Amino acid sequence: MTEHPSYGDGIAVVTVTYFPGETLEKFLDTLEKATDRDVQVVVADNDSTDGAPEKAARRENVKLLSIGENVGYGTAANRGVAELDDSYGWVVVVNPDLEWEPGSLDALLEVAERWPRGGAFGPLIHDLDGTVYPSARLLPSFGRGIGHAAFGKVWPGNPWTRQYRQETGTPVERTAGWLSGSCQLIRREAFDSVDGFDTRYFMYFEDVDLGERLSRAGWLNVYAPSSSVMHIGGHSTSQASEKMLRAHHDSAYRYLADRHRGLLWKPVMLAVKAGLALRLKLETRKK
Exposed / middle / buried, residue 21 (Cβ in 10 Å: 0-12, 13-18, 19+) = middle
pLDDT tens column, 177-226: 999 999 999 999 999 999 999 999 888 889 999 999 999 999 999 999 99
Return the percentage of the chain with pLDDT > 70, whole number: 74
Model confidence at 248: pLDDT above 90: no
**DSSP state letter for 20:** -
202 vs 264, higher pLDDT: 202
Return the percentage of the chain with pLDDT > 90, whole number: 61
Can you state the percent helix, strand and coil of the chain, rounding each to 5?
40, 25, 35
Instruction: Tell me if the domain spanning 11-236 has CATH number 3.40.50.970.
Output: no
pLDDT tens column, 134-170: 888 777 655 555 555 554 555 566 554 455 454 556 7
* Cα–Cα dist 134/101, whole Å: 18
Length of the chain: 287
Q: Hey, where are the domains in the chain? A: 11-236, 239-286
pLDDT-wise least confident of 1-5, 13-17, 128-132, 273-277: 1-5
Model confidence at 236: pLDDT above 60: no
283 vs 232, higher pLDDT: 232
8 Å CB contact between 41 and 62: yes
Tell me the average pLDDT across 272-282.
69
* Cα–Cα dist 281/197, whole Å: 29
Exposed / middle / buried, residue 221 (Cβ in 10 Å: 0-12, 13-18, 19+) = buried
261 vs 81, higher pLDDT: 81
